[in-house]
Chains A and B, each alone.
Chain A
Amino acid sequence: KAGVTQTPRYLIKTRGQQVTLSCSPISGHRSVSWYQQTPGQGLQFLFEYFSETQRNKGNFPGRFSGRQFSNSRSEMNVSTLELGDSALYLCASREGTGPRLNTEAFFGQGTRLTVV
């Protein structure tokens, strides 16, 4: 079974531009979560999608948005990039989501975004 696939692996963008990152979950997994990881900050939760609906959202500005397609693939978009958006963006897939669910989260390798 293929793992979680994130594309691209590396990206360099200029301040003010916008970027779209992609995540393909493990086959059969319907939940996709996105995280931002910067040195010293740990993983910061962005949002979670399940069956094309956003289920949870973190404390990020509206410049960060996402969506999920019918095949469970998900995209994350960041508009008007700022230098502080430079980070490793990780996505994780789970079979399901919701209360009292013990399904394990599997992470992709991440997309390293550098804003210059």
Chain B
Amino acid sequence: KNQVEQSPQSLIILEGKNCTLQCNYTVSPFSNLRWYKQDTGRGPVSLTIMTFSENTKSNGRYTATLDADTKQSSLHITASQLSDSASYICVVTFSNTGKLIFGQGTTLQVKP
């Protein structure tokens, strides 16, 4: 079954600290993996997108990595800011149909 699992479910860190969010998937075959940021009550906004042949992609303080062999991805946030408080969603595209498979998300809270 094609699934995407994210951990931790929620995370609290202090402003200025780094953190890493995990995404494990069983989707096969897959064409790409994306990380989205969703502020409360708003639609998700894309942070990074990686194809199966890419290992890392950066967007400012956000760096995503992908290991297609172990089917794992991580999103690293550097020098966190209060505005990073949001849900982060990992999404994998199932190649056969183009369907997007969503993880449950990780809720990050950055405290001053």
Contacts and interface: CB of A to CB of B under 8 A. Distances in A.
* A and B from one complex: yes
Contacts of B45: 107
Interface string B28-48: 000110101000011111100
B8 interface: no
B49 A104 contact: yes
Interface stretch (A13-21, A63-71, A77-85, A93-101): A93-101
A90 B100 contact: no
B46 A106 contact: yes
B3 to A, nearest CB: 11
Contacts, number: 63
Contact of A100 (B31, B42, B46): B31
Nearest to A102: B32
A25 interface: no
Given A102-B31, A102-B51, A104-B49, A45 B43 contact: no
A62 interface: no
Contacts of B44: 43, 90, 107
Nearest to B32: A102
Interface of A: 4, 6, 33, 35, 41-43, 45, 48, 55-56, 88, 90, 92, 97-102, 104-110, 112
